[in-house]
């Protein structure tokens, strides 16, 4: 598969999963968390999907398109391993939706980060929260659910948080 085809499939998978997740959290209150601002594409999609929810975005730097940068209260800058510890106070309520788009393309590094996020997220999510991720997340509080049928297996991942 060409890298162009691969990139298109990834972006389509993100859109399918986020749109599905939006319908799934109708009855779940709480903010949305985005890990990986990057260019701001998925943040922009999330704010279209959730005009009435707060969206907090985490990244080590802000290098997004200038029209896709959250305001100061909603962008948390730094390594996730440093910023997640105090994130509960910042976001104010357990999250209804989490999107992790953190891959670097370096498999071992990405696996290590996914292990960290899977553990750290459990303290930030509401029961019924949907987690959409570019990496597989292994956690007792997250139950894997099938992404939409259009998404190739293991291209993107979806989970639902169970009460702890």
Chain residues that interact with ligand SAM, rule: CB under 6 A? 36-42, 59-61, 79-80, 101-103, 113
C-alpha 48, offset from chain centre: 15
For residue 143, the minimal CB distance to ligand SAM (Å) is 24
For residue 162, the minimal CB distance to ligand SAM (Å) is 26
Task: Give CA torsion, residues 112, 114, 115, 121, to 10 deg.
Answer: 140
CB nearer to ligand SAM: give 102 or 130: 102
CB nearer to ligand SAM: give 21 or 102: 102
For residue 28, the minimal CB distance to ligand SAM (Å) is 22
DSSP codes joined into one string, 64-103: S-GGG---GGGEEES-HHHHSTTHHHHH-S-EEEEEE---
The rounded distance, in Å, linking the Cα atoms of 121 and 125 is 6
CB nearer to ligand SAM: give 86 or 127: 86
């Amino acid at each position: 598969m060409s890298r162009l085809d691969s990139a298109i499939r990834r972006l389509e998978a993100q859109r399918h999963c986020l749109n599905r997740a939006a319908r799934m959290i109708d009855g779940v209150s709480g903010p949305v968390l985005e890990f990986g601002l990057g260019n701001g594409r998925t943040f922009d999609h999330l704010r279209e999907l959730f005009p009435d929810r707060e969206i907090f975005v985490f990244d080590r730097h802000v290098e997004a398109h200038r029209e896709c940068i959250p305001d100061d209260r909603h962008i948390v800058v730094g390594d996730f391993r440093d910023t997640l510890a105090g994130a509960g106070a910042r976001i104010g309520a357990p999250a209804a939706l989490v999107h992790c788009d953190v891959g670097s393309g370096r498999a071992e590094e990405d696996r290590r980060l996914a292990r960290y996020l899977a553990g750290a997220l459990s303290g930030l999510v509401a029961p019924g929260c949907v987690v959409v991720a570019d990496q597989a997340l292994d956690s007792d509080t997250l139950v894997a659910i099938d992404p939409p049928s259009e998404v190739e297996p293991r291209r993107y991942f979806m989970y639902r948080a169970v009460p702890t």
